[in-house]
Structures are given as C-alpha cells and as structure tokens.
C-alpha cells in the first residue's frame, strides 16, 4: 500500500509529476486544491448535496470524514488546511493539529500520493512512506510560472520568492526543519533534463524498489 509524499519547488512541475505518479500506480492523489474543494462542499448550506457529491467510503468521502472530525478546532482549521503556506499565521497551532489528523487519516486508510502540506514531516515515522523532492533551476521555474499564470517575469519571481519563503518559515516553525535539506527525502529529482513522464517513471520505479527491499527484511 504505497504512500508517497511530493514536495516541489514552485514552478518545478511537481504537481504534474505527482498526478502522473498517481495515474501510473492507479492510486489516489490529494493536494491543497482537492482539500479546498472538499472543505467548500462541507460548508454548503444543504448538507444533503455535499453527501451526494462525497458518498461515505469514496475518496472524497474519506477526506470529508477526516476533516469533519476536526470540527472541534473551529472553522479556521478548514481555511488553514488549504491556504497557501505563506498565508498561514505561524502561531496557528490549531491548524497544525487539524492538518496532522487529516494527513495521517488519509495515509492510514489508502494508497495515496500527497503533495505538499508538510506531509513529508507529518509522515516521517510512518512505515513504508516514500518522500520525494522536486527541484528545478530558477530560470525554468520562472518560465513555467510565467506560462501557467500568464504573467511577466517580475511577477513570477515575486510569486516564487513568496512561496519559497512562506514554505521555509512554515516548516521551520512547525517542524523545526529545513525544508530544502535532502536528508528529509528518499529521492530528489531535478527536472532540468527530465520530462514529467520521465520523472514520474523514475519515482514509480524507486517506490517499487523500496517496497521490494522492505519486503525482504
């Protein structure tokens, strides 16, 4: 039952790679945007509509159930879970408690690819979890961000800097770690010379090799 965490530099192509891994392995994929969609549906006035969209036992239903169990922490937990890391108050301890619960529940219940949200630190002691870091040269990150968001180079650079600083501060504050330290990852991939397909294939092969080695112990 593979659980893979993907942390990627902004503009490195990590989101496309993570989605492709999930497709190749035929397992679920979750990121901030998916969690945001679930949270939004949970806040719909008509609860029956949300239940029909996310039936119990389905992937979205399991996310909804995990998030619903954090209700005692208040509505702020929903905003925190899917907000950009650079927008999360660094003194929001309720956020971390809710985030850890949701991530661990998802990891316990299924095979899954989890992108971001500090999952590599939350699941660092979970057996069999494979952690990946995706990086790329700044010029390529700029190009991707400019093309994706249809913005100029200055705005793209500002977005990258804001994301990098926010992510770094988040991990430093909550996990007392350096997010860029390769020791936290089982595999680091530079997408400078690799396509999304090639990077995803390498990760899938590495995950399967790691699983085989663990099975022989």
> What does the alpha-carbon distance between residue 132 and residue 207 come to, in Å, rounded to a whole number?
10
Rounded to 10 degrees, the C-alpha dihedral 179/180/182/185 comes to 40
pLDDT of residue 73: 45
Q: Is 60 exceeded by the pLDDT of residue 98?
A: yes
CA separation, residue 50 to residues 17, 42, 61 (Å): 30, 6, 9
Question: E-assigned strands of the chain?
Answer: 3-8, 28-30, 112-115, 129-135, 187-190
- What CATH number corresponds to the domain at position 159? 3.40.50.300
pTM of this structure: 0.79
Q: Is 80 exceeded by the pLDDT of residue 193?
A: yes
Q: What is the DSSP string of 80-135?
A: HHHS-GGGS-TT-HHHHHHHHHHHHHHHHHS-EEEESTTHHHHTTTSTTEEEEEEE
Q: How many domains does the chain have?
A: 1
pLDDT of residue 201: 97
**Mean pLDDT (whole number) for 118-126:** 90
Q: Is 60 exceeded by the pLDDT of residue 185?
A: yes
pLDDT of residue 51: 52
What is the domain range of residue 188?
A: 3-215
pLDDT of residue 83: 53
**In a 3-state reduction of DSSP, which class is residue 173?**
helix
């Amino acid at each position: 039952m593979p659980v893979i965490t993907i942390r990627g530099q902004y503009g490195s192509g990590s989101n496309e790679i993570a989605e492709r891994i999930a497709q190749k392995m035929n397992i679920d994929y979750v990121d901030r945007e998916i969690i945001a969609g679930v949270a939004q549906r949970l806040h719909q006035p008509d609860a029956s509509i949300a239940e029909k969209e996310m039936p119990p036992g389905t992937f979205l239903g399991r996310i909804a159930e995990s998030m619903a169990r954090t209700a005692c922490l208040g509505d702020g937990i929903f905003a925190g879970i899917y907000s950009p890391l650079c927008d999360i108050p660094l003194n929001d301890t309720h956020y971390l408690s809710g985030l850890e619960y949701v991530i661990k529940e998802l990891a316990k219940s299924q095979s899954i690819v989890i992108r971001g949200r500090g999952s590599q630190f939350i699941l660092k002691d979970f057996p069999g979890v494979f952690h990946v870091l995706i990086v790329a040269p700044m010029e390529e990150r700029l190009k991707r961000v400019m093309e994706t968001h249809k913005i100029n180079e200055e705005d793209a650079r500002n977005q990258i800097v804001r994301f990098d600083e926010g992510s770094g501060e988040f991990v430093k504050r909550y996990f007392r770690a350096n997010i860029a330290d390769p020791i936290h990852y089982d595999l680091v991939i530079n997408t400078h010379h690799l396509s999304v397909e090639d990077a995803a294939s390498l990760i899938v092969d590495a995950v399967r090799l790691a699983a085989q080695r663990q099975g022989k112990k």
